[in-house]
Structure 1
Amino acid sequence: MSDINADGTALAVTASPPVFSCLCCGGSTASLFLDQCPDFYLRKPFVVSYHRCTACGLVQQHPVPSDVSPYYDAYPVHRPRSAAYSWFRRMLMSSVYLPPQHWRRGGRLLDFGCGDGWYLEWCKSAGLEVVGFEPSSSHANALAARLGVPVMSDASELQRQFGGAFDVITLHFVVEHLTDLQSTFRLLASLLRPGGVVRYVVPNIDSWEFRLFRRRWHSLDAPRHISFPGVEHADLLAHSCGLSFVGKSFVSFPNGFGGSLPTALWARFSELALLLTLPISVVVTRLFPAGSQAFLLSRRDARSVQS
């Protein structure tokens, strides 16, 4: 076929749109869920769209980015926090970050996506053997030096050193950032001992919080949040890697509601406004805790690793 017109001018070439591929079930068809979503949190110059898989209902970005590193420059989750802030998380977010006493003393715990490392510190002080994982090697090395615990940055090395070694694996607001759900859950399954559990917490895209705020919902966090797996996806992912779906629960996360209020009013996040609205956010999310949910998967029997 000729690539020029009859008058000698070049034919216009139209690039094919990227093919949708569901991160959970592999489905190839989807409908637009939410478009033109800017970065209200860090105000980076990115705008993304979300689609819902026709087959399993997963809401995910389309297209899925091949490189997410530009989204995380100056990401505050990795910044060391004060003792007061850690106390705040322990007291006000205990349904998100389960107290270490929930797990068997002396067990081995992996915090996958350990952020500033505070949960590792808390669990270590309670008598658990802890390991962290962060994909940035420089951040992982700095955390390991500061905390005095292993913090891995290479998934293959993590599997080589700790395959079948963990009683508990936690992921606190990590799963929604992943660009490859299936391979990550296969990795997690390979790291569990028989009887071990994976507990992960994710924002709930089907919640009243999202319906109220939509693009300005703080927990949407475009473009960093890639997908929003729900209960049906927990079951699919569990069975795809040989785990069992144990159950789910709604958890109180005041930042999701409180962070949405300034964004709804001024189209930008404000940490000061979040702090000022914290009391009402705590009350609202404890009375109506649907904005985030926790899922528990087991390699056999969750009771063997819980107190």
Structure 2
Amino acid sequence: MSEAPRPWPQADLEAVPQCPVCGSAERSLLYKGLTDRVFCVADGAWDMYRCAQCASGYLDPRPTPESIGRAYAGYYTHDAEDHPIVRRKGRIRSLLHDLINGYQNHRYGLQRSPALPVGRWLLPLLPSLRTAADAECRHLPPLPAGGGRLLDVGCGNGGFLLLARQAGWEVEGLDFDAGAVQAARLRGLEVYHGGIEVLDGRSACYDVITLCHVIEHVHDPLAMMRTLNGLLKDGGSLWLETPNIDSLCSNEFKENWRGLEPPRHLSIFSRTGLEKMSDAASFDITQYFWHGVSASKIYISSQTIKSNKNRAPKFNPLTGLNAILFDIIEMVLANNREYITVRIKKAA
């Protein structure tokens, strides 16, 4: 039997009587006593409620903004290494890696190598890999005439900023993690340290803003969305990706789902919740995307959590088959995909 976690200090907790996503006070208890079983660095046992109005989940109580940093010790944004969709190891993986590079070079104007130009035609025949390749590039729109400015909020080590800069964008990043900011700056990137308030005083200065697995970490997501709206130029777009509380893996693994990650994930969105919040922040969701090769990875991670081991269990062919099956099913069930991945534009 595992030891009970040390409690999060009472003085560093705050109550959340209303849904941070839509403001409703109607709710039901979804999970009780969740603990950090992903990075295993955060104290506390956490209760998650599900909003009766927008169906999003949220922690109550939760760490205060001043104390939440303690939950990020050893967090992955400290890592300066980038992780490709497929590692170039072995003949088949090397082939897929080079096909992906060829596709991205053609589709997004990158100069990745080694690359197989034929990837522009062959990768679309592998839908899960093609959509993963598009998601890695965050479905970048065509570069505006005269160039465009891009801000990545929660930029981590700056891997995506390097990609966007290679595609021709003028890039800036923002992250509250000092270690991540240092790693990004060492790569020659312009990155600010702190929260969104660091950009106070700016307005209508970016063509594109991206948030990749950031909004679930934010104490007041609606306020952030409104701030981002003000930072976008007219006609600008926001690309956002976040775990989906209604995903296949969430329904399968429940309290063992990798996407919960308490207490770093303060809110877990439903599509309805994200739509309500976007509307309240004067945004229009213009397109949903599928992030391929996501359900299978989260399936295996969730299975590891369920097994109560610190490393992946010995490979089981049935587990691998189920993981692949989840990837196939979510291709069809748009509402139950692992991530909610959207492009959002300022309302006219």
Q: TM-score range by the shorter chain?
A: 0.7 to 0.9
- Aligned residue for 2:135, secondary structure, equals coil
Cα distance in 1 between the residues matched to 2:329 and 2:36: 26
- 1:64 to 2:62 alignment: yes
- 1:112 to 2:153 alignment: yes
Letter aligned with residue 35 of structure 2: P
* Structure 1, unaligned runs of 5 or more: 1-16, 302-307
Asked if structure 2 preserves the Cα contact closer than 8 Å seen for 1:166 and 1:196, the reply is yes
Percent identity, aligned pairs only? 23
Alignment match, 1:259:
301
Asked if structure 1 preserves the Cα contact closer than 8 Å seen for 2:56 and 2:245, the reply is no
Cα distance in 2 between the residues matched to 1:102 and 1:268: 42
Cα distance in 2 between the residues matched to 1:190 and 1:152: 20
Q: Could you give the per-residue CA deviations for residues 119-172 of structure 1, whole angstroms, max 9, x where no partner exists?
A: 011111111111111013454244224233243425333243x42111111111
Asked if structure 2 preserves the Cα contact closer than 8 Å seen for 1:152 and 1:158, the reply is no
Asked if structure 1 preserves the Cα contact closer than 8 Å seen for 2:156 and 2:184, the reply is no
- Aligned residue for 2:259, secondary structure, equals coil
- Aligned residue for 2:63, secondary structure, equals coil
Alignment match, 1:49:
47
Deviation at 1:190, TM superposition (A): 1.0
TM-score after normalising by structure 1: 0.80
Alignment match, 2:338:
291
- 1:40 to 2:37 alignment: yes
Letter aligned with residue 48 of structure 2: Y
Deviation at 1:117, TM superposition (A): 1.0
Cα distance in 2 between the residues matched to 1:239 and 1:171: 17
Deviation at 1:57, TM superposition (A): 2.1
Find the partner of 1:26 among 23, 27, 30: 23
Asked if structure 2 preserves the Cα contact closer than 8 Å seen for 1:43 and 1:268, the reply is no
Q: Could you give the per-residue CA deviations for residues 11-46 of structure 1, whole angstroms, max 9, x where no partner exists?
A: xxxxxx946121022222321011121211112332
Asked if structure 1 preserves the Cα contact closer than 8 Å seen for 2:56 and 2:267, the reply is yes
Letter aligned with residue 60 of structure 1: Y
Asked if structure 1 preserves the Cα contact closer than 8 Å seen for 2:20 and 2:219, the reply is yes
Letter aligned with residue 135 of structure 2: V
Q: What does 1:91-240 align with in structure 2 at a 5 Å threshold?
A: 91=100, 93-98=132-137, 102-104=141-143, 106-137=147-178, 139-160=180-201, 162-240=202-280
Letter aligned with residue 272 of structure 2: E
Over aligned residues, Cα RMSD in angstroms? 2.9
* Structure 2, unaligned runs of 5 or more: 1-13, 88-96, 101-128, 331-336
Letter aligned with residue 230 of structure 2: S
Deviation at 1:268, TM superposition (A): 3.5
Asked if structure 1 preserves the Cα contact closer than 8 Å seen for 2:77 and 2:179, the reply is no
Letter aligned with residue 292 of structure 1: Y
Asked if structure 1 preserves the Cα contact closer than 8 Å seen for 2:177 and 2:193, the reply is no
Cα distance in 2 between the residues matched to 1:129 and 1:295: 22
Cα distance in 2 between the residues matched to 1:273 and 1:119: 32
Q: Is the alpha carbon distance of 1:63 and 1:223 closer, same or farther for their aligned partners in structure 2, counting shifts above 3 Å?
A: same
